[in-house]
Amino acid sequence: MTQAVAGHGALIAMEMDPEGAPGIFTTIAELNADIEWPELSRGETEVTPHQDSIDSWVLGILRRGALQAGVNFIFDNATHDHLTGLYSMIKTNETRGFRLRGPGGTTNTDEWICSGQLQAITQTAPVREGARTCSITIRLSGPMIIDGVAYGTPVA
């Protein structure tokens, strides 16, 4: 019997004040699109010597793709607007803490904690049908924590 769960209810929260106390997150309002967790991958280098008759590879450091999401855009919402929200992030290029939680996720359970900057934001106003929306791309940077386990801690 499957243990599959619906993806609905996943949430992204961000630190509204990156200069303030860390770990205080506010959920981004009206997340309306599929949330694409960042892809994790490692680059590859072939190290096959002439003496071998089958290939050998070494994988490099952990790399992440972008975090993709979308919202029903509310122009004066504090998590969306140009003063404190997403549009302010693209202006200031500041780094903020982000928290990704799966449906029903809680502290250190189905939860990613990471840092990133807003790399792209695109707003759409449909001409006839549909709500005003924004799609966002967040570029993560530096160490992150998945369910309390550190990923990418600095090499001593």
Partner 1 sequence: MFVIELLAQQNPFQYMVDENNRTCWSVNFLGRANTNEGLAPVIAKRLQDNAIGTPGTSIFTGGVAQIPKGDGPYILITVTGGVSDLETHNRDYQRSISFQLTVRALDAELCEQTINAARNALDGIRNTTLTA
* 8 Å CB contact between 22 and 95: no
Q: Does 11 bind partner 1 (CB under 8 A)?
A: yes
Interface pick for partner 1 out of 10, 86, 121, 140 (rule CB under 8 A): 10
What the block records as the tokens of 39 is: 């892809």
Phi-psi category of residue 23: left, alpha or beta, with phi > 0 → left and psi -120 to 50 → alpha: left
Place of tokens 């003496």: 51
Site string for partner 1, 71-110 (x = CB under 8 A): xx--------------------------------------
113 to 142, contacts with partner 1 by CB under 8 A?
A: 128-131
Other beta carbons less than 10 A from residue 140's beta carbon = 21
Choose the binding region for partner 1 from 4-12, 14-22, 80-88, 116-124 (rule: CB under 8 A): 4-12
Interface pick for partner 1 out of 1, 2, 4, 8 (rule CB under 8 A): 8
| 84 DSSP 8-state letter | T
Interface pick for partner 1 out of 16, 26, 29, 137 (rule CB under 8 A): 29
- Which helix (H) or strand (E) is 137 found in, with range? strand 133-140
Which residue type, as a one-letter code, is found at position 90? I
For binding to partner 1 (CB under 8 A), which residues are involved? 8-11, 27, 29-32, 35, 71-72, 128-131
